[in-house]
A and B are shown apart, each in its own frame.
Chain A
Amino acid sequence: MTRPQILVGCAVAAIAVVSFTAFLFVDRSYDWALPDGVPLPSVPPDNPMSDAKVALGKRLFYDRRLSVNGAMSCANCHAQALAFTDGLPRSVGATGEMHPRGSMTLVNAAYSARLTWANHLLDTLEVQALTPVFGEQPIEMGMSGRESEMVALLSSDDYYSAAFPKAFPADRDAYSILNVVRATASFVRSIVSFDSPYDRYLRGDEDALQAGPIRGMELFFSERLECFHCHGGFNFTDSSTHADTLVQSVGFHNNGLYNIGGSGLYPPDNTGLYDLTGERRDMGRFKAPSLRNIAVTAPYMHDGSIVSLSGVIEHYERGGRLLPDGPYAGDGSRSPYRSEFVKGFDLTGQEKADLISFLESLTDESVLKDPRFADPFSH
């Protein structure tokens, strides 16, 4: 503490406090290349889409220099061929630290009302992008406190020194973390996909689905199986939003994966929404992920603890998972927090095969290969 003293008049440091804007708007100037009838994604008004921004964001997304040791880019955990997931039960950061949860698909993240597995707060890609880059618990890309190094890299690199001013022409100084976030979010937002066999079938191509997936689709949307209550809508999740959404739907559900000791508990590093709210009723509540491209995003659940779609169906068939022994022993079907829609059902072998074939029909092969979303570096 300094001695109280009168200081000469000095310039008052203005603190720019601008809240994220709560209202999203429709960006009709950008070509999303969406089929007719598909709603446009919402876009934050302070970060409108542009081709230049998306191109810059793609480069940043694949640039390993944006990690503390040059070991990883966003694409390490979000690989295009796996619908922007990594095939691991739980993801691993640049320094080898394991994340409690698995990486989520980025396909149609633009339509996701909430981001990540269980966080009611995260509603824009711009906010979410900060956690993998700067987060410390766990370390993902490990750039906490290294903003000036990042900005120095961007302004000295040949590609970036042209791309940033082009993407942000109104900015006096375009090289900023803010613009890294805006460009990366724009690229991720551009990864939209509605060309699976299921989508083509809905658009009138009756040959797009065979009899098996059609029977599976009927099962999926039946009250007998209840799948669609949480995985419903155009993006197969009840946490969806789009430009014309009037009432935003957000859902977090306990699907009976754990019931440690019969008291409803989840493993301490993965308690779902409870981790943020501390409300017991939020124990084990996770977002229902989109089922688009689900066949290529194994293993399943927030912690990758179910390896196959067949195992997932058996889980729901039983109405929760029984772990007979080990530290997490318990019968998930008896959890006091289990969703009312996870109540179990019986399927014949044929029905199960049909349901799996329907889930496989949600894979859009084009988004897994589309050069618009592919690695621009020759890694």
Chain B
Amino acid sequence: MSCESDVAAVSLTDLRFYIHEVRLLAADGGETAVKLQPGPLWQSEDVALLDFESGAGSCQNGTQQVNTLVRGHAGAGNYTGLRFRVGVPEHLNHADPLLADAPLAYSFMHWHWRTGYKFLRAGVATADDGFWLHLGSSRCEGTATDVKGCRSANRPEIELPSFVPDKHVVVIDLRDLVDGIDLENGIPSDCSSGPAEVECEQPFSALGIDFDSGTRDGIASVFRVGTRE
């Protein structure tokens, strides 16, 4: 699926998201943190931004640049699994985006009126219908100058138990995200993580989050392991 595919009935309109707390799992179950390698556009020590949309075709108002790789290092080991968290860590989520460096400096990933980042933005379109998701923390308390936390954290924890770094890649499959959402009734729908949005229930479930509490509630079926080509 891509922005420029003109054969598929469903095309991509957006797919950008942050990840952090990347960990490799050893065969004995031990966790090793992957140290993210800071880079100019996509990564700091704390968070990486992945961007699968090219700004072309059905991906209007996107960016030309894409980034499908997370760079980091961990000590040598026999790793057989991967964990990471989607989103921006809480300690960075409510800082002023105008004072932040990449990858936290982009207006398209910030939610000014919710005073935090859009952790993930994804969208698909059919000929006359579509769905988009903006995932981020909601039900935040305090004020923008002094956020006291958010009651729905909405940071999916992804666990891929059969991931071997030199054999596998992480595949994102958006089918589950929109499973059950009517993409052919001509009424575009969306979820922007608001507490009252019923359209959020399916995508949240596909990301392994309980919509009511914003905490982990099962497997994030949107992410799976694929074979490295």
Residues of A within 8 A of B (CB): 1-7, 10-22, 44, 114, 116, 119-124, 127-128, 130-131, 133-137, 143-147, 176-178, 181, 268, 271, 274-278
Q: How far is the CA of A278 from the CA of B82 in the complex (A)?
A: 34
Residues of chain A lying within 8 A (CB to CB) of residue B70: 1-2
B216 contacts A by Cβ under 8 Å? no
B16–chain A nearest beta-carbon distance, Å: 10
Residues of chain A lying within 8 A (CB to CB) of residue B140: 121, 276
B61 contacts A by Cβ under 8 Å? yes
Task: Please tell me which one of the listed residues A4, A11, A274 contacts residue B73 in the complex, with CB atoms under 8 A apart.
Answer: A4
Is A274 touching B196 in the complex (CB atoms < 8 A)? Answer: yes
A226–chain B nearest beta-carbon distance, Å: 28
Is A21 touching B145 in the complex (CB atoms < 8 A)? Answer: yes
Is A143 touching B107 in the complex (CB atoms < 8 A)? Answer: yes
Is A3 touching B166 in the complex (CB atoms < 8 A)? Answer: yes
| The 6 residue pairs across chains A and B that have the minimum distance between CB atoms | A278-B195, A13-B38, A130-B112, A20-B145, A178-B98, A145-B108
A176–chain B nearest beta-carbon distance, Å: 7
Which one of B5-13, B89-97, B176-184, B202-210 is at the interface? Answer: B89-97
Q: How far is the CA of A119 from the CA of B113 in the complex (A)?
A: 8
Q: How far is the CA of A274 from the CA of B196 in the complex (A)?
A: 8
Known: A121-B147, A178-B99, A275-B196. A6 touches B73 (CB 8 A): yes
Q: How far is the CA of A321 from the CA of B165 in the complex (A)?
A: 63
Is A127 touching B145 in the complex (CB atoms < 8 A)? Answer: yes
Task: Please tell me which one of the listed residues A123, A131, A271 contacts residue B112 in the complex, with CB atoms under 8 A apart.
Answer: A131
Residues of chain A lying within 8 A (CB to CB) of residue B138: 276, 278
B199–chain A nearest beta-carbon distance, Å: 11
Is A144 touching B107 in the complex (CB atoms < 8 A)? Answer: yes
Q: Of residues 134 to 184 in B, which have CB atoms within 8 Å of A's CB atoms?
A: 134, 138-147, 151-152, 163, 165-166, 168-170
Q: Which residue of A lies closest to B69 (CB)?
A: A2
Q: List 27 A-B contacts (CB under 8 A).
A: A2-B69, A4-B75, A4-B76, A7-B37, A10-B38, A13-B43, A15-B46, A16-B99, A16-B100, A19-B96, A19-B145, A21-B145, A22-B143, A123-B144, A123-B145, A124-B145, A130-B110, A137-B192, A145-B63, A145-B108, A146-B107, A177-B98, A268-B196, A271-B196, A275-B196, A276-B114, A278-B139
Known: A19-B145, A20-B145, A176-B98. A144 touches B34 (CB 8 A): no
Residues of B within 8 A of A (CB): 22, 24, 34, 37-40, 43-46, 61-63, 69-77, 79, 82, 91-92, 94-102, 104, 106-108, 110, 112-115, 134, 138-147, 151-152, 163, 165-166, 168-170, 192, 194-196
A116–chain B nearest beta-carbon distance, Å: 8
Is B79 touching A4 in the complex (CB atoms < 8 A)? Answer: yes
Is A144 touching B76 in the complex (CB atoms < 8 A)? Answer: no
Q: How far is the CA of A124 from the CA of B113 in the complex (A)?
A: 11
Residues of chain B lying within 8 A (CB to CB) of residue A10: 37-38
Is A278 touching B194 in the complex (CB atoms < 8 A)? Answer: yes
Known: A275-B194, A276-B140. A135 touches B112 (CB 8 A): yes
Residues of chain B lying within 8 A (CB to CB) of residue A135: 112-113
Is A15 touching B143 in the complex (CB atoms < 8 A)? Answer: no
B165–chain A nearest beta-carbon distance, Å: 5
Q: How far is the CA of A146 from the CA of B37 in the complex (A)?
A: 26
A211–chain B nearest beta-carbon distance, Å: 43
Is B146 touching A12 in the complex (CB atoms < 8 A)? Answer: no
Residues of chain B lying within 8 A (CB to CB) of residue A147: 106-107
Residues of chain B lying within 8 A (CB to CB) of residue A121: 113-115, 140, 142-144, 147
Task: Please tell me which one of the listed residues A14, A122, A178 contacts residue B113 in the complex, with CB atoms under 8 A apart.
Answer: A122
Is A19 touching B63 in the complex (CB atoms < 8 A)? Answer: no
Additional A-B contact list (20), CB under 8 Å, known A1-B170, A277-B139, A277-B195 = A1-B168, A2-B72, A3-B166, A4-B34, A10-B37, A13-B40, A16-B101, A17-B100, A20-B144, A121-B113, A121-B115, A121-B147, A123-B143, A134-B112, A135-B113, A145-B107, A276-B194, A278-B139, A278-B152, A278-B194
